[in-house]
Amino acid sequence: MVKTLATITALITGGASGIGKAIAQTLAANKVEVVISDINHTAGAQLAVELEGHFIPSDLCDPAAGRALVADASAICWGIDILINNAGMQYICAVEDFPEGQWARMIQLMLISPFSLIRAVWPHMKGRSWGRVVNIGSIHSHVASVNKSAYVSAKHGLLGLTKSAALEAGELGITVNAVCPAYVKTPLVESQIADQARTLGIDQSRVVEEVMLGSAAIKRLIDPTEVAELVAYLCSDKASAITGSAFDIDLGWVAR
């Protein structure tokens, strides 16, 4: 699937469940050595065993964690060739009530840590004249929703980071792209349903029908494997001419 090198290693943040897990499974099936990072030690370690990969626990809300994670992964695998910035969290709250510490924590996790990780893997990719960075954005990289100011800000910023890094990487053999899904059938999305219902004062069934799928042309949640297959393609040599792009898997959500 990917360039023929002695070893291809992928680091997937938030890799223990949901989209990250599906990406790890798909890349491993394509003979990529996977390093899974997550705050969930049990699930991450178990998946690493299943995929014959590696697990490194990391809390990327810590500003120093990104650099340490790449150093630890590189010590095991001699460098990271593919970086998947997937780790995320959600917090539903109006701007006027949003705790500043929580807001900053989310920006650290979903925008600052991807930058730190890209910067840390850059020398290895540059030295090999080959690398792939895929940032997992969101429909909220393009549009906004109420009560999601931190999430929307981080995902908008992540798209800007993707484009800027891609321009700098163009002559280095490194591509940088973003995948922007709508609501995916993951534990993170499932946990949002109750939060949204409480915040908006509606039934949980209405959250799915009106909030998550109301603007979609295709009325279903996305399966994580659908996102993983696109990510795998972007990591392949077939996608070597694609960089600085945002690929929407959004059921037609932002077509309006």
Which region holds residue 79: left if phi is over 0, alpha if psi is between -120 and 50, else beta? Answer: left
Q: Which of 91, 151, 183, 233 is catalytic?
A: 151
Active site residue 183: no
Q: Which amino acid, 30?
A: N
- Spatial separation of the C-alpha atoms in residues 20 and 88, rounded to whole Å: 10
3: Cβ–Cβ under 8 A, 6 or more apart, which residues? Answer: 130, 237
- Spatial separation of the C-alpha atoms in residues 158 and 143, rounded to whole Å: 13
- Spatial separation of the C-alpha atoms in residues 30 and 32, rounded to whole Å: 6
Rg (CA), the chain: 18
CA atoms within 13 A on the CB side of 63: 1
Under 8 Å between Cβ of 54 and 31: no
- Spatial separation of the C-alpha atoms in residues 168 and 165, rounded to whole Å: 5
- Spatial separation of the C-alpha atoms in residues 180 and 208, rounded to whole Å: 19
Q: Which residues are catalytic?
A: 151
